[in-house]
Amino acid sequence: MSDNPKIILSAFADEAANRKTAVEQMSSLAALGLKYYSPRFVDVTGEGSVEHVVDLSDEKLGILKDIHAEYGMSVASIGSRIGKVKLLGQDDGSHNKYVDFDEYLETEVARTVNAAVALDAKLIRGFSFYHPKGEAPEPYLEQAASLIGQVADRFAAHNITYGLEVEANLVGQNGRMLAALAEMLDRPNLVCIFDGGNLSSQNLNWVEVFDEYVAMRDHIGWAHIKDYAVDRSLEWTGVVDEERLKNFVPANMGDSSHEAILRDLRDRLPEMNSRMQALGAPGVFLELEPHLKGGGQFGGFSGPDGMGVAVRALCSVLDYVGIDYDLRTMADIREARGF
């Protein structure tokens, strides 16, 4: 019996599916040995209609839940797009949308809660809103925190934990800013989501990525696994554009400091697991979102082959640093068959 701490592997299943059908997504991840996933874009019926999970009808959510049971899959978190809208209704030269916040609560946020409840999800990931393009994020911390707090409180009413993901171009674009938001909000059901690729794609080297991890690590509830090889020939303008989203690589090849970060995380996992279990989650997730065949503002793609490469790369790093994980075994198959 290993004394190593354990994490739970998960993935964004739409990244593994060429046509994004629910059956393709579930079969791809089940074949790779995963038992959890985060739904995002999905064609539930296989008829060519790809929808975001929060836009699914109650009927389609029910069908999707039946497919989960068929493939032995459970939902780790809802891959929501909450917080990827503007803080201010002003033209800043970006294509980001502005939505009246009261309307936002009753539409996007309400639909996200509905999907989480229907699919038995205890976690929802989201973002920290776009401040005006070209401006520093610090002056917008309080305004972003006010909106995020209202979203988190809606989730708390349903015993759901809200995870704020670190990502470029948003108020919470680095570990320091995300930690400042978490400390300002001080909600028991709000945690941060680390994503190394979302930091290294901002032209950070591995030491700088590690420093941003340290800044936010006391607030981390789970992590996305995405790695990025920095191309120093690309001029850094302070904004991540589509050209920079072509250099994602497996977790053992890039500049996102995964080995050092996971080694540090190893000693923190027992406490983190206890915290997340108290919030209703089964433990701490490492969610693969590798973008190996391309990424964008609202998603990415790896294909079934790319997801396989990403899973094996992450497992090699976890083995090296001494963190245990579960993949499907013959015992799981026997249990599913009623043996």
The CATH number assigned to the domain holding 82 equals 3.20.20.150
Question: HSE (CB half, 13 Å, CA atoms) of 250?
Answer: 14
Q: Do the domain assignments include residue 214?
A: yes
pLDDT for 159-190, tens place per residue? 999 999 999 999 999 999 999 999 999 999 99
Diameter over CA atoms, the chain: 62
- Judge whether 234 lies within some domain: yes
Taking the C-alpha atoms of residue 332 and residue 292, their distance in angstroms, rounded to an integer, is: 29
Which pLDDT band, with edges at 50, 70 and 90, does 245 fall under?
Answer: confident
Percentage of the chain beyond pLDDT 70 is 99
Asked whether residue 236 is domain-assigned, the answer is yes
Domain presence at residue 139: yes
pLDDT at 339: 67
Average pLDDT, integer, range 205-231: 97
At residue 333, the pLDDT reads: 83
179 burial via Cβ count (<10 Å: 0-12, 13-18, 19+): buried
Q: Is the pLDDT of residue 223 over 90?
A: yes
Distances in Å between the alpha carbon of 233 and those of 26, 230, 239, 247? 39, 9, 15, 12
The label of the residue with tokens 């999907």 reads: 115
Tell me, yes or no, whether 106 lies in a domain: yes
The confidence score (pLDDT) of residue 335 equals 83
Give the pLDDT score at 234.
85
- Domain count of the fold of the chain: 1
Give the pLDDT score at 121. 98
User: Rounded to 5, what percent of the chain is helix, strand, coil?
Assistant: 45, 15, 40
3-state SS, residue 86:
strand
**pLDDT score of 297 more than 80:** no
Q: Indicate the pLDDT class of residue 295, thresholds 50, 70 and 90.
A: confident
Q: In this structure, is residue 1 part of a structural domain?
A: no
Check residue 198 and give its pLDDT. Answer: 95
Whether residue 2 is contained in a domain is answered as no
Lowest-confidence region among 24-38, 66-80, 124-138, 284-298: 284-298
Distance CA 76, CA 17 (A): 18
Confidence of residue 337 (pLDDT cuts 50, 70, 90): confident
Average pLDDT in the 142-158 region?
98
Compute the average pLDDT of residues 38-62.
98
In a domain, 147, yes or no: yes
Phi, psi of 221 (to 5 degrees): -105, -35
pLDDT of residue 1: 64
Mean pLDDT of all residues in 80-101: 96
Domain span at 193: 8-336
Task: Tell me the C-alpha distance between 60 and 45, whole Å.
Answer: 8
Confidence at residue 243, expressed as pLDDT on a 0 to 100 scale = 74
